[in-house]
């Protein structure tokens, strides 16, 4: 792959500063860049590194200048970066067709342009859309539908009655549609409540590696369009994750949690069952969401409180030994004052 700066500028609606005929053969980091590589300069603090780098050109926003060097200037450099990276690095793909070692049930419907890898199991009633890819070792049990241009990586386990949209990516080791955690005590033991609902995953979703999305008890667990899950995210039964929400690594949603649109849950956050989190709300790392949260709030802690208040509380928390001492000193002072008053009254 080789492109001139002029060609790249056309692709990303940018302008060239410097030599439009300069040839770009790769997108690299500062440390790795050679004379024909393009490097992203996302913030002013990287300008020094840029000027010391031998990179062939820099991808910059409106306000940044790497003096005397070739630049590609765009309004949103990170977005342009995503575009040119994809140009130079097409996504991982399988060979076309169904691998001879795969097993596809006779009743499954596989689009001719779908790609099915080695040792994949596609069970009865499944359907695979055009251009979708199922990587080696993945299992689709029964009545699983996979939309067009969706990619499911290796060793993913999908139970029955799971619907996956188009343009979605599911990373390796994830489990979709296993039973929700539901039991009822009969006086002697916990009896399983059968989990007979389904899972519905929207379009343009990304599910990280080793995630778990449980099937609903009744009805459907939903992960809506544009949601991005990091690794190790747990979605309990009957949850609804609203459009374009971001769930960072190791987040756990208890059963029945409902997230609005554009919610962000930072790493290791957990939620109580059946709470709601409003549109656009941000929950900071490790928080325990024990009650519903209104839209567009930014919170921390367990129970979550307004984030800046939490920060102030944390600072004081670290000083608790001194504060406790100060309180005891004050108690003594006051006691002395009282004594003196009593003595003075004698």
For the segment 251-270, give every residue that binds a second copy (CB under 8 A).
252, 254, 267-268, 270
Under rule CB under 8 A, which residues in 163-202 are in contact with a second copy?
169, 171-175, 178-179, 181, 183-184, 186, 189-194, 196
Q: Give the shortest CB-232-to-a second copy separation in angstroms.
A: 6
DSSP 280: T
Question: In angstroms, what CA-CA distances link 204 with 22, 153, 169?
Answer: 35, 15, 7
Binding flag, residue 46, a second copy (CB under 8 A): no
Contact predicate 221/239, CB 8 Å? yes
Q: Could you say whether residue 326 binds a second copy (CB under 8 A)?
A: yes
Compute the least distance from the CB of residue 23 to a second copy, in Å.
Answer: 19
Question: CB atoms < 10 A from the CB of 309, how many?
Answer: 12
Q: Which is nearer to a second copy, 21 or 75 (CB)?
A: 75
Contacts 24+ apart (CB under 8 A), 175-179: 175/211, 175/212, 175/213, 176/201, 176/207, 176/213, 177/141, 177/213, 177/214, 177/215, 178/212, 178/214, 178/215, 179/214, 179/215, 179/237
For the CB of residue 54, give the shortest distance to a second copy in the complex, in Å: 16
Q: Does 343 bind a second copy (CB under 8 A)?
A: no
So which residues are the catalytic ones?
Answer: 237
Residue among 71, 162, 248, 263 that touches a second copy (CB under 8 A): 248
**Residue 250 engages a second copy in binding (rule: CB under 8 A):** yes
Query: Cβ closer to a second copy: 21 or 79?
Result: 79
Whose CA is closest to 211, among 174, 177, 167?
174
**φ and ψ at residue 85, rounded to 5 degrees:** -60, -45
Rounded least distance, CB 86 to a second copy, Å: 5
203: which DSSP letter? S
Three-state secondary structure call for residue 158: strand
d(C-alpha 266, C-alpha 273), whole Å: 18
Nearer to a second copy, 65 or 305 (CB): 305
Residue 1 binds a second copy, judged by CB under 8 A = no
Structure tokens at 101: 């070692």
Q: What strand order describes the sheet that includes 198-201?
A: 109-110, 127-128, 145-146, 162-164, 198-201, 220-223, 240-241, 258-259, 276-277
**Residue reference for tokens 């929207």:** 202
By CB under 8 A, the count of residues binding a second copy is: 113
Stretch that binds a second copy, among 7-15, 107-115, 126-134, 214-222 (CB under 8 A): 214-222
Kindly tell me which residue out of 7, 65, 88, 307 binds a second copy, with binding defined by CB under 8 A: 88
CA nearest neighbour of 271 among 284, 287, 282: 287
To a second copy, the closest distance from the beta carbon of 193 in angstroms equals 5
105-164: contacts with a second copy (CB under 8 A) = 117-119, 121, 135-139, 141-142, 153-157, 159-160
Binding mask 5-24 for a second copy (x = CB under 8 A): --------------------
> CB of 203: closest distance to a second copy in angstroms?
10
Between 69 and 171, name the residue whose CB sits nearer to a second copy. 171
Closest CA to 235 of 154, 146, 170: 170
Asked whether 234 and 252 are in contact (CB, 8 A), the reply is yes
Burial class (CB in 10 A: 0-12, 13-18, 19+), 345: exposed
Q: Interacting stretch for a second copy, rule CB under 8 A, among 6-14, 46-54, 107-115, 212-220?
A: 212-220
Q: Which of 2, 10, 218, 274 binds a second copy (CB under 8 A)?
A: 218
| 286-325 residues near a second copy, rule: CB under 8 A | 286, 288, 290, 301-303, 305, 309-310, 312-314, 316-318, 320-321, 323-324
């Amino acid at each position: 792959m080789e492109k001139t700066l002029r060609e790249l500028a056309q692709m990303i609606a940018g302008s060239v500063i410097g030599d439009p005929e300069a040839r770009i053969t790769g997108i690299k980091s500062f440390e790795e860049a050679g004379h024909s590589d393009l490097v992203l300069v996302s913030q002013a603090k990287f300008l020094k590194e840029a000027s010391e780098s031998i990179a062939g050109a820099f991808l910059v926003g409106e306000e940044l200048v790497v003096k005397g060097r070739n630049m590609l200037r765009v309004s949103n450099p990170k977005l342009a970066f995503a575009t040119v990276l994809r140009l130079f690095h097409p996504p991982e793909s399988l060979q076309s067709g169904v691998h001879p070692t795969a097993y596809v049930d006779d009743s499954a419907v596989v689009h001719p342009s779908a790609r099915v890898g080695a040792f994949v199991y596609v069970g009865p009633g499944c359907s695979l859309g055009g251009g979708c890819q199922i990587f080696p070792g993945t299992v689709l049990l029964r009545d699983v539908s996979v939309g067009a241009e969706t990619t499911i990586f290796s060793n993913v386990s999908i139970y029955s009655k799971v619907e996956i949209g188009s343009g979605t990516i599911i990373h390796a080791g994830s489990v979709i549609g296993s039973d929700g955690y539901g039991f009822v005590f009969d006086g002697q033991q916990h009896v399983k409540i059968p989990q007979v609902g389904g899972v519905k995953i929207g379009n343009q979703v990304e599910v990280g590696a080793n995630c778990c999305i449980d099937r609903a008890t009744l009805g459907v667990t939903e992960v809506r369009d544009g949601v991005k899950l990091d690794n190790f995210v747990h979605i309990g039964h009957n949850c609804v994750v609203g459009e374009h929400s971001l769930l960072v690594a190791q987040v756990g949603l208890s059963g029945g949690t409902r997230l609005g649109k554009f919610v962000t849950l930072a790493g290791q956050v957990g939620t109580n069952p059946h709470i709601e989190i409003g549109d656009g709300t941000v929950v900071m790392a490790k928080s325990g969401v024990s009650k519903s949260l209104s839209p567009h709030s930014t919170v921390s802690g367990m129970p979550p409180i307004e984030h800046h208040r939490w920060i102030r509380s944390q600072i004081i928390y670290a000083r608790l030994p001194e504060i406790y001492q100060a309180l005891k000193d004050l108690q003594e002072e006051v006691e002395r004052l009282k004594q003196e008053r009593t003595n003075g009254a004698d």
